[in-house]
Chains A and B, each alone.
Chain A
């Protein structure tokens, strides 16, 4: 079992639900357990769409292709089922939930994973939350703030990582978590991701980014380039360096879009 990939995407085509806007035009991607993948690509190429489709966003429709998660048809599962089975999406644009503290939010999320009659142990939870906040260099008072309400861009991203650290996914999709972070914060976040992978070497990560810098801290096993709804090139870390030097012009073909 552990040899089989955690995620396998085959020729995935997708569009905006109820509209004729095609976004993904045949994505192929395989992520093995414990692997770290990065997707880079120009604005509007479909990176976030792919991540959202994997998390189950109702605004998109897959028209053909297949996505297997731990051998199971991922597209058949509800959003919350996917989360409960270990899929986590760190949002590019995290959403505000006024009046709900981070602590309350996370406790509710953990509670939702438990069966009938089981309760999150409040003391264990508190300890865990504080420990994770410490790793991420966050002030404990942060846990009492309303989720993303009035957060700075960097705080929102850090909050996504905090959630990831507490919810312990098997497959983490990080959509531009590095954007908007200052250099120190970037290092802290990178350290946090590494720490999580040390705790669970089987945790797989798909990181979407525009910048090579984050990839210097979190070293990816594979880097893919998405253009026009397709992964047009895959390789090792050298792909990122190459992009940094030459840009996307080299891949652009007028055939898609």
Chain B
């Protein structure tokens, strides 16, 4: 890892808030995706041969697979992809100054009440982040317990067997076009291993990983929760991710071994030019529990359906998500649960809010394989429409091959009503305050599961988003 001030600033970037300036840095790969780019990435990272082959094979799959025709509108994506750089060496990321940060972003920081020092870090122009000290003492504690919490690159270097045993096994490259793309060009992300029986009280937070490679457009995370362990991983933040890049495609693989309990929380607020296409999946073994807690805000289009494959008897999976779509945005999100063993249980709760011309789609799949007797699944999706121009759709797919199972599905659509607004306003709240309170109440069942500081930030963000919602 080269010692470079800029890199440090970026790596400490708690909020994935990063800039790429218009100037072309010297060491960028060319635009677009091809074999040369893939080889270059692998060489830059000094990877073992098997990883290069893995990448090249994924590239072939990517090229062979057509663009999905379901989900959101991807018709412009090809031209976006032709223009982007699939790899930028971290040391080549451009230095920038506070003056370069767009005023609207600064304003949002102000409104969110983020202290100035932190604002600079967020904008990628600050130096050290205070949490480094906190992180070091935590890291020591974790290391004593045998916990690995590294960048994905270091995971591959330092724990080759463990890495290779699991990498690409949860989400094969061929799973979908974007998992293939990620498999070809991945860069950045976390590698986490929790040893058997280890329980962590403090969540592992992505922003704690200092002096590591910047999480990028093609982040790749691999997490293994070994038998009987218990941990919580948190990624992202409600502060806006500002980026001139317009494409993000991550792959998150999680293995939850027997009796383990793992929760993965993401809160992301993308700028509204962003295509955000993420594949998240967990393999959940006997009597293990996996919980996805997912908050998606912003972006032009997000397609994201965290999934749980319940492979062992008594496994439990849950996918709880909140999606917010503002003007011109489309959140196509939901969840997927596959019951492949007896006595497995799952829950999907999805709450979406659409404002202005925003559009939210719930897309979910619940599959019960034959022999998964006594499996239970409950799906609930609730949509809240703020304006008459807002839109929501629901696509719940249910495939049941086992009669002795119990699947429930419930969907509601509500519109913020005049009577409700009148009631709140008659207590002295103005229209925006009333709207924000209604929205906060709507997401409360999920928001209350968030760590406090995230819940507070989310609430503040909703207040901001509700400004100008009325008229």
On A, residues with C-beta under 8 Å from B are: 55-59, 78-80, 82-84, 88-89, 91, 94-100, 104-106, 108-110, 112-113, 146, 163, 167
Q: How far is the CB of A241 from chain B (nearest CB, A)?
A: 32
6 residue pairs of the A-B complex, CB under 8 angstroms, read A80-B429, A83-B428, A94-B423, A96-B420, A97-B420, A146-B441
- Tell me whether A97 and B437 are in contact (CB under 8 A): yes
| Docked-complex contact B423 and A113, CB < 8 angstroms | no
- Indicate if B83 sits at the interface (CB-CB under 8 A): no
Partner among A82, A84, A97, A106 whose Cβ is within 8 Å of the Cβ of B423 = A97
Residue of A with least CB distance to B439: A99
Please name all residues of chain B whose beta carbon is closer than 8 Å to the beta carbon of A94 when the two chains form the complex: 423
Query: On chain B, which size bracket covers the interface?
Result: 20 to 34
Within the complex, what minimum Cβ distance (angstroms) separates B34 from chain A?
A: 50
CB contacts (< 8 Å) of B417 on chain A: these are 95
B418 touches A79 (CB 8 A): no
Q: Chain B's nearest CB lies how many Å from the CB of A180?
A: 18
The answer to whether A112 and B433 touch (CB under 8 A), given A98-B441, A99-B441, is yes
Starting from the known contacts A80-B428, A99-B441, A105-B437, 12 additional A-B residue pairs (CB-CB under 8 Å) come to A56-B425, A58-B422, A83-B427, A95-B422, A98-B444, A100-B441, A104-B437, A105-B424, A105-B427, A106-B427, A109-B428, A146-B441
Q: A99, B426: Cβ atoms under 8 Å?
A: no
Q: Is the interface of B mostly helix, strand, loop or mixed?
A: helix
Q: Which residues in B have their C-beta under 8 angstroms from that of A99?
A: 440-445
- Of A56, A99, A105, most buried by chain B (CB within 10 Å of CB) is A99
**Distance in Å: Cβ of A90 to nearest Cβ of chain B:** 10
Contact yes or no, A79 B422, CB < 8 A: yes
Asked if B428 and A167 make an inter-chain contact with CB atoms under 8 angstroms apart, the answer reads yes
Alpha-carbon distance between A104 and B440 when the two chains are bound, in angstroms: 11
How close is B110's CB to chain A, nearest CB, in angstroms?
14
- Residues from chain B with a CB closer than 8 A to the CB of A56 are 422, 425-426
Answer yes or no: B6 CB below 8 A from chain A CBs: no
Min C-beta distance of A164 to chain B, whole Å: 10
Q: Name the 6 nearest CB pairs between A and B, nearest first.
A: A99-B441, A99-B444, A100-B441, A83-B428, A95-B423, A109-B427
| Nearest-neighbor residue (CB-CB) of B447 within chain A | A99
A68 shortest CB reach to chain B, Å: 19
Given A80-B428, A108-B433, A100 and B444 contact (CB-CB distance below 8 Å):
yes
